[in-house]
Amino acid sequence: MPTEDPGTPRPSAAARGGGQGAPPRIGPALPWLVAGVLLPLAAFAVLAAMVAAGPPGFDLSLAGIAQRGLGGPMDPVWLLLSRFGHEWGVVPVDIALVALLLLRRRWRAGLFAAVALGGSGLLNMAAKQLFARPRPDLWMPLAPEHTFSFPSGHAMGSMTLAWVLVLLAWRTPLRRPLAVGLAVFVAGVGWSRVHLGVHYPSDVLAGWALATAWTVACRLAFRRGNGAG
């Protein structure tokens, strides 16, 4: 029976995991491809087809629920949450996360985060131009926007960041509490955009679906040279 030469250096934990600074393994690719990429893309396609025919019925129903709270004490809370869903929270954290990973020499993880987060923003801008859906005109918005509506950039950006953080923490005890906390944040940001009158619910759902498909696809693309992924 062959024996290991004591003088042979063992590969480091980083090397066994697929290289220094690689994102944590997430398991077999096929379930992730189906549940994390293909199904969200199908959901996005269905929403896009529904929107092309006019606002779906659930858009108007949920918007009506959101409208009931207008002028109440929660308005400043929803406005603040909306700001944290983009310029006051998500964007600064995006930049800080990529910078921190690169400073710690986690090159592949940093590149994954940069591509997923930056690419999500570019994809959102391209999708808005492609679908060119006007903003809702149901009531006077509390925070007027002047770009197109579908899909929601706030919903897409917050969901992308949530997925990136959860995937980077996949092999740690932080994964579950992080996922729960971020799910609450992402849902709050999405509802804030409907409450403020700047998005239909379908815009928010489409942003979540497209962000999920994009981020998981990016993570799968970084399986190369990372063992089982």
**pLDDT tens-digit map of 95-144:** 999 999 999 999 999 999 999 999 999 999 999 999 999 999 887 777 88
Q: Is the pLDDT of residue 20 over 60?
A: no
Q: What is the structure's pLDDT at 225?
A: 46
Please, which pLDDT band fits residue 165 given cuts at 50, 70 and 90?
very high
Q: What is the structure's pLDDT at 3?
A: 45
- Which residues have a Cβ under 8 Å from the Cβ of 177 and sit 6 or more positions away? none
Count of CB atoms within 10 A of residue 220's CB? 16
Q: Which residue pairs, CB below 8 angstroms and at least 24 apart, start in 87-93?
A: 90/154, 90/157, 90/158, 90/161, 91/157, 93/161
Among 172, 192, 213, residue whose Cα is nearest residue 89: 192
What is the DSSP code (8-state) at residue 210?
Answer: H
**Whole-angstrom Cα distance, residue 26 to residue 39?**
18
3-state percent breakdown (helix, strand, coil) of the chain, nearest 5: 65, 0, 35
Please, which pLDDT band fits residue 13 given cuts at 50, 70 and 90?
very low
Name the one residue in this structure whose structure tokens are 């770009």: 147
- Which residues have a Cβ under 8 Å from the Cβ of 8 and sit 6 or more positions away? none
- Cα dihedral sign for 177, 31, 126, 112? positive
Compute the C-alpha angle 11/14/19, nearest 5°.
95
Domain ranges of the chain: 26-221
The type of residue at 15 is: A
DSSP H or E segment with residue 159: helix 153-168
